Amino acid sequence: MNAQPAQQIPGIYHRKIGDIIVTAVSDGYLDGTLDVMRNVDLEKAHQILTDAFRPARRTSVNTFLIRSKGRTAIIDTGSGNYLQPTAGFVQRSLAADGIDPKSIDTVLLTHMHPDHSAGLTDMSNGQLLFPNAELVMHENELAHWFDDGAMAKADERSAKLFFQAGREQVAPYKSRTRLFGDGEVFPGVTAIPSHGHTPGHTAYLVASGQDQLMIWGDTVHVPEVQTAFPEAGMSFDTDLAAAATSRKRMFDRVSADGVLVAGMHLHFPAFSRLARRGNAYALYPEAWVHAL
């Protein structure tokens, strides 16, 4: 008699971008309410989710492996053991893909929120989870999250979950941290600063041959709502107006050029196209394929 499954197979999905292999790696998901949304009518937002058969806010947490020119990077690290028990599965997912974290030579961060950087270090024992990796991020991120004045102005939850957690996670990588402003940051990967959600929030454009993929980080958190209302933001946007401006700029860019997109909070495995629909947009997930 076959045993009943107790959990899903770890989330791994590969996509070729020219000669580069991009692998979506699921960290799990985070559940919450829409009360954290700003600049949107919450009744309309709830209706959009209901119409999409998503009556609650379930936020996918994704990271992405980049295998290029004989090197391996990971964009973001998931939430480690900081957040809900439904997330924190990056290491399990990597193991399912046969990836030893010691073989990853670069960690690219979109920004230093705990669902992105908290998987750098196991805070139960201080172990570096990517012990041979260089840590790479926009120069504004460290400047902001290590600013004691900014931390003093934050509420207690933000000070602990964003400032303190971020400092704890990146500190062990201090001697191997590289900061950038823009430009190519890994073979075939170019940083696209998209500030506002955080001061150094960055998207990454993966390009090889004629193929491109925009990994847009936290351009959206609630895809159904924010594509319908691009001005809608989140309470944890550092600069709500700047985040909206960056989101609209990104939406215009990828929809006009037909660029494949992926994001940390698009529903796994995340690879999608964005199309303009009047003053709004629509996401179309790419069909699953078995062969690379």
Residue type, 157: R
Q: What is the pLDDT of residue 18?
A: 97
* pLDDT band at 76; cut points 50, 70, 90: very high
Q: For residue 251, which phi and psi values (nearest 5 degrees)?
A: -55, -45
- Any domain includes 136: yes
Identify the weakest region by mean pLDDT among 13-22, 134-143, 158-167, 245-254. Answer: 158-167
Look up residue 15 and give its two tokens: 């996509």
Q: What is the pLDDT of residue 250?
A: 98
Helix or strand or coil: residue 113? coil
* pLDDT of 291 strictly over 90: no
- Any domain includes 3: no
* pLDDT of 289 strictly over 90: no
Q: What is the pLDDT of residue 2?
A: 79
Mean pLDDT across the chain: 95
Rounded to whole angstroms, the Cα distance separating 142 from 140 reads 6
Helix or strand or coil: residue 26? strand
**Percent with pLDDT over 90 in the chain:** 85
- Any domain includes 124: yes
- Any domain includes 74: yes
Average pLDDT over residues 229-252: 97
Query: In 3D, which of 160, 173, 177 has the Cα closest to residue 120?
Result: 173
| DSSP conformational letter for 260 | E
User: pLDDT (tens digit, 9 = 90+) per residue, 42-73?
Assistant: 999 999 999 999 878 999 999 999 999 999 99
How many Cα atoms are found within 13 Å in the side-chain-facing hemisphere of 50? 6
Instruction: Check residues 235 and 292 and name the one with the higher pLDDT.
Output: 235
Count of domains in the chain?
1
- Any domain includes 43: yes
- Any domain includes 73: yes
User: pLDDT (tens digit, 9 = 90+) per residue, 199-208?
Assistant: 999 999 999 9
Average pLDDT over residues 129-140: 98
Q: What is the pLDDT of residue 9?
A: 83
Rounded to whole angstroms, the Cα distance separating 35 from 147 reads 28
Q: What is the pLDDT of residue 35?
A: 95
User: pLDDT (tens digit, 9 = 90+) per residue, 112-132?
Assistant: 999 999 999 988 888 899 999
Q: What is the pLDDT of residue 4?
A: 87
Q: Which residues pair with 274 in a beta bridge?
A: 283
Q: What is the pLDDT of residue 1?
A: 65
Burial class of residue 231 in the structure, from the number of CB atoms within 10 Å of its CB (0-12 exposed, 13-18 middle, 19+ buried) = middle
Q: What is the pLDDT of residue 125?
A: 86
Domain region containing 156: 12-285
Q: Distances in Å between the alpha carbon of 129 and those of 94, 133, 235?
A: 12, 9, 30
* pLDDT of 94 strictly over 80: yes
- Any domain includes 216: yes
Residue 147, domain CATH: 3.60.15.10
Residues 6+ apart with CB under 8 A from 226: 220, 232, 247
- Any domain includes 6: no
Helix or strand or coil: residue 37? strand
